[in-house]
A and B are shown apart, each in its own frame.
Chain A
């Protein structure tokens, strides 16, 4: 079995290194350096000497792809051990299984048992009659949703905003983490990071107020700048134009969450082996080069897993921001599934139609996740399960 064989690279390091680099590193490893950090020192003390070796030493033979002959990555790709469930493996892994059982019971109880409530979508649910007593209406509410022409537009809006949000939030969070990581001075770095996460604590109602102020026709700073440098002749009413809305939503999200989202990448960057940078320096890479060729690939697995996860959330673009920024003139591009549900649900005690839309969103999410996951699998990349 693989874990008994040659120690594997950590994915974080592996991704950045070509075979030639590996050779070089291997050589370099012959001149060990003293442990640079407390953590590394602690590991040494624990007697896990393999740690350092393992983290820099490549597999002796690069795994070739059976099909296309292209390079294969390690870790979760198909190089993963295929373990057959036999009595013996079960016995050997009994400790892991014992630990898992309470977690499964917990998950069943708190996450899956309440899903019985999905019945509501197929009923004319009345709280006083309960789940068992309410009248079954079959697919009535699904038909009502999908029979409405407006709903198709709503799906389009939701999807477009979801995609724009996904792309922008990823781009900005990763970019910010990379740039911040390049700041060498301790205090400015701390300052910038602290500032960057502050907007996360503002509620949407405050943030949308800020966005409206900035984009206002009469006193907005954006209009002032654009008019002064001559891009526009006169102030533009951004909220009256359908073309801008999705982008306004996207960039509002960027403003609020970039710093917060970047925390996870910054933490991932800490896991990158410092020797990778030295190697890249030797290669003559400048700071940009190192950022591009070492840091970015070093957090690739984090990026992938977050991307997969968020793909499933692409329809969950919420309602608050669209509701607070939208208006009647651009209703046709601002309405999301959640708003649609609220609007129709509110006049009729909500529950059935809300549940139907919830099921729809869940199904779409799960389909997306499975598609993305199998795409990642066949590309040999990091994946969710």
Chain B
């Protein structure tokens, strides 16, 4: 017995040493390395990533990114702040305010004079929106900064999704109201109750898991024709905030769901399914329609449907409203989120080096390497300077291992969206319309044609210019229970989580709705919340006007 153990130990030690030797072989380099922590989950790049090395070669520095794992951002940042030790650069996410309060970030505006790419990255008015109370800028927003024009081809936001086979079966009808929508999928399900795999079709499902319950709770403001401000409706003309939970359209919407639940149109597992189950269900192609934001299902379930060649099961977006005469507004401009961003910390020993790197990485050349990859490896250029990819390149670009070894988007560093700085190409392959069409399934092309659209985006009304307060969710997301308004906001979520599913499955809708409304008004002092939101709307307007 002793022998076995000794042998086991010996074997373990030997293999360990071997591993150690193999792991120990690393080459030295003179390239500066900055550490960056991103308080979001993400993928670490491999050692020796090609695009990263190229960028390092060009600019003499690289960034080692580490990501949030199994913790909340506050916890991760909280520990750093308590210990007073930070990485060189950080995207602090929900811990941003904590970092600012701790004095852990350097004021970008003190250092930016030598770095025009940074200084000119936003307009004066936009930079003003980023300033903290002391007048300094501690974070650079990375997203929603559009160069020239928005080039989105996908509806990344919310919509009422429907399978093309349903539209095709009905001869591509005009679907405008919520009644039209349910009548259409109800009729289709009655006529075609069996899915290709032999199971029965599920006409409509609702995801209601944790924070993803927006699929159930937020359609009222879309149905009423307002954009995705998230927590409230803001009347565009008067700039006054309105609670969408109690408007008549909200009741009409939930009553409709209740009716359809009783009709067997709404999936009985709607309120008990997990996100994974929801995705699996959609992946089978059994679901005819649902409300969701594209990023929540598009890159898993839609791809599964494509991969399985389920003809007619691809989803296209519809801009459904409550009643005729309401104009839908599902599309919106990319939003500038000023509640945080990329920061450099006081622990960084080479602030100028860091600023220079950020500045360099905003150049046209760097942007192309970050989002397209290496020329002739990840993309090719045609005679007109238009970038394109071969099918092999396209395949490689979605391979997780390939990405980790070869592509280096530095996604949480400042970047331009919309058009590339060369003015010819889109900022990334997915937005390049030639690339987009290459990929489109015939059924989707046919459907687009029937509705006179060229992209998913054009299935919905064109974007309207955003109002200065848009989006209000960037404020309500940061609300904490330390403020009165925040406390109400959290309680509203509680009540809605508990009562909305009950209302939908209630035998007696009216009674359930009344109970919900009563509890809602008792537990949530909605005026406090609205006053809070109104103050923020007013503040944003005045900032935008340059005060």
Contacts and interface: CB of A to CB of B under 8 A. Distances in A.
Nearest to A350: B74
Interface string A237-274: 10110000000000000000000000000000000000
* Chief secondary structure at chain B's binding surface: helix
Given A328-B208, A329-B502, A237 B78 contact: no
A128 B104 CA distance: 9
Contacts of A216: 269, 277
Contacts of B101: 126, 128
Interface in B172-225: 199, 208-210, 213
Contacts of B271: 240, 327-329
A343 B74 CA distance: 13
Interface string B454-496: 0000000000000000000000000111100010001000100
Max count, chain A CB within 10 A of own CB: residue among B75, B79, B213: B75
* Chief secondary structure at chain A's binding surface: helix
A151 to B, nearest CB: 12
Contacts of A221: none
A329 B269 CA distance: 11
A128 B81 contact: yes
A347 B490 contact: yes
Max count, chain B CB within 10 A of own CB: residue among A346, A347, A348, A350: A347
Contacts of A324: 274
Given A128-B101, A324-B274, A348 B480 contact: yes
B268 interface: yes
B479 A347 contact: yes
B540 interface: no
Interface residues of A, number: 28
A228 interface: no
Contacts of A218: 199, 269
Contacts of B479: 347
Nearest to A327: B272
Interface residues of B, number: 40
Interface string A288-330: 0000000000000000000000000000000000011001110
B502 A127 contact: no
Contacts of B77: 127
A347 B98 contact: no
A351 B500 contact: no
B498 A332 contact: yes
A344 B481 contact: yes
A171 interface: no
B72 interface: yes
Given A128-B102, A349-B74, A349-B78, 20 more contacts: A127-B78, A127-B82, A128-B98, A128-B103, A212-B274, A216-B269, A216-B277, A237-B269, A323-B210, A327-B209, A327-B274, A328-B208, A328-B213, A329-B502, A344-B481, A344-B490, A348-B480, A349-B98, A350-B75, A350-B78
Interface pairs A-B: 10 shortest CB-CB? A128-B102, A239-B272, A127-B81, A127-B82, A348-B480, A349-B74, A127-B78, A327-B272, A328-B501, A347-B480
30 contacts: A126-B98, A126-B101, A127-B78, A127-B98, A130-B82, A208-B274, A209-B274, A209-B276, A216-B269, A216-B277, A237-B269, A237-B272, A240-B272, A324-B274, A327-B274, A328-B498, A329-B271, A331-B497, A344-B490, A346-B74, A347-B481, A348-B480, A348-B481, A348-B482, A349-B74, A349-B78, A349-B480, A350-B72, A350-B75, A351-B78
